A = this chain, B = another copy of it.
């Protein structure tokens, strides 16, 4: 495999070097009271919905870690270890899993009865510290996580020198890797990108030639999308200027997937600009679909207790939680959730099979697109 050189490797090295130099300068400066590192506060209190940009972002709260404070000394050691390892990876054109980094750096400190790291949570947290302290995200640092998601459609992607025609991938599709920033889009004839919650629905659409007939790039996320899939949707939308439709189950979990794709997630609010696609719209399932397409007999009852009967718990609780997010306050979304509560049911995308297997590909989705029945 050729060395993994990312477009912003140089910038990342600058950022890591800057962090290191700052620490060295502080160490050499007798006037400095403290050796410090500033990281953005990532808790909910510092997460804001930026209405203009249409996505979540972190506010201006920083926490300053004072490393000469004895309780922070361990974290200081860990931060420099991980930053150094990341620099090594970027320089050598290698990538590593966050678990490998943990194992690579775990050792006993010479002369002390103490390990550098006790478990992977410690090193994972330090990775996020370095992300917010330097502005370089995990993928920039050449660190990857478990990959998830598949892509089918009329586009040829160059990955590390291999030219991959995503229309000629049999029944498999392209497996979306954890890092996609190095992708080059060689050519395409797509009219839109459709993100699909379940693998089974992607299989259905491919078997019915939906991607071919409608010039669609289909991205199956296999449930909650991984970072790789979110980043891929973001760069495809930006570089190829294609609209993004989201097709998920009609329940609070599906709508939350939509919201994460569109506006970002709270835990990764500091990089919504790279992971979120604010112009994405929802194509289905909606609560109106139930009546319109006669799906009453294939809905599922919401689990848990409603608010006025000792709840809300389970599905009901999730609905109320998501309804209250700042970025879900549009009338059309409040109406969806209210209908869900009133009906007391959820509807899965695969429930459309009750009409016929090909119904979703030949009628449901084409009608929605033609009539622009899309929730924003």
The interface of chain A, by Cβ under 8 A from chain B, is 1, 4, 94-97, 99-101, 103-104, 106-108, 115, 144, 146-147, 150, 157-164, 168-179, 199-200, 203-204, 206-209, 222, 297-298, 348, 350-354, 356-357
User: Would you call A171 and B199 a contact (CB within 8 A)?
Assistant: no
Are B200 and A107 in contact (CB-based, < 8 A)?
A: no
Q: Report yes or no: B350 in contact with A99, Cβ–Cβ below 8 A.
A: yes
Closest B residue by C-beta to A208: B1
Tell me whether chain A's interface is mostly helix, strand or loop, or mixed.
mixed
Complex-state Cα separation, A199 to B356, whole angstroms: 36
Inter-chain CA distance A158–B356, complex, in Å, is 29
The distance from the CB of A350 to the nearest CB of chain B, in whole angstroms, is 5
Q: Which residues of B contact A350 (CB under 8 A)?
A: 97, 99-100, 103
For A147, list chain B residues within 8 Å (CB): 150, 172, 199
Name 23 A/B residue pairs within 8 A (Cβ), A-sorted.
A1-B171, A1-B206, A4-B207, A95-B203, A97-B350, A99-B350, A100-B353, A100-B357, A103-B298, A103-B352, A103-B353, A106-B297, A106-B298, A106-B354, A107-B354, A108-B297, A146-B199, A147-B172, A160-B170, A162-B168, A171-B179, A172-B175, A174-B175
Residues of B within 8 A of A351 (CB): 103
Cβ-defined contact, B174 with A207, below 8 A: no
Contacting residues, chain B, for A106 (C-beta < 8 A): 297-298, 354
Instruction: Specify the chain B residue showing the minimal Cβ separation from A171.
Output: B177
Known A-B contacts: A147-B150, A162-B169. Give 5 more (CB < 8 A). A1-B171, A100-B350, A103-B350, A164-B170, A175-B175
Residues of B close to A161: CB separation below 8 A: 170
**Across chains A and B, which 3 residue pairs bring their CB atoms closest together, nearest first?**
A159-B170, A97-B200, A175-B175
Cα A177 to Cα B172 in complex, Å, equals: 5
Q: A1-B209, A171-B179, A353-B96 are in contact. Are A144 and B103 (CB under 8 A)?
A: no
Do residues A94 and B357 form an inter-chain contact, with CB atoms below 8 A? yes
Chain B residues closer than 8 Å to A146, beta-carbon distance: 199-200, 222
Residues from chain B with Cβ under 8 Å of A357 in the complex: 94, 96, 100, 104
Cα distance A146–B202 in the bound complex, in angstroms: 11
Complex: A106 Cα to B298 Cα, angstroms: 7
Interface centre among A1, A178, A297 (most CB of B within 10 A): A1
User: Do B168 and A103 touch across chains, with their CB atoms under 8 A apart?
Assistant: no
Nearest B-chain residue to A150, judged by Cβ: B175
CB-contact partner of A207 in B94, B103, B159, B171, under 8 A: B94
A210 to chain B, nearest CB (A): 10
Whole-angstrom distance between the Cβ of A74 and the nearest chain B Cβ: 17
Give chain B residues whose Cβ lies under 8 Å from the Cβ of A101. 353
**In the bound complex, what is the Cα–Cα distance between A354 and B115 (angstroms)?**
13
A360, closest chain B residue (CB): B100
The smallest C-beta distance from A303 to any residue of chain B, in angstroms, reads: 12
Q: Given A297-B108, A350-B103, is A207 in contact with B95 using a C-beta cutoff of 8 Å?
A: yes
Contact A175 B173 (CB under 8 A): yes
Tell me which residues across on chain B come within 8 A of A164, comparing CB atoms.
168-170, 172
- The answer for the CA separation of A75 and B189 in the assembled complex, in Å, is 49
**Cβ-defined contact, B171 with A172, below 8 A:** no
> In whole angstroms, what is the CA distance A172 to B183 when docked?
11
What is the chain B residue whose CB lies nearest that of A147?
A: B199
A39 to chain B, nearest CB (A): 26
Distance of A1 Cα from B173 Cα, bound (Å):
12
Nearest Cβ on chain B to A348's Cβ, whole angstroms:
8
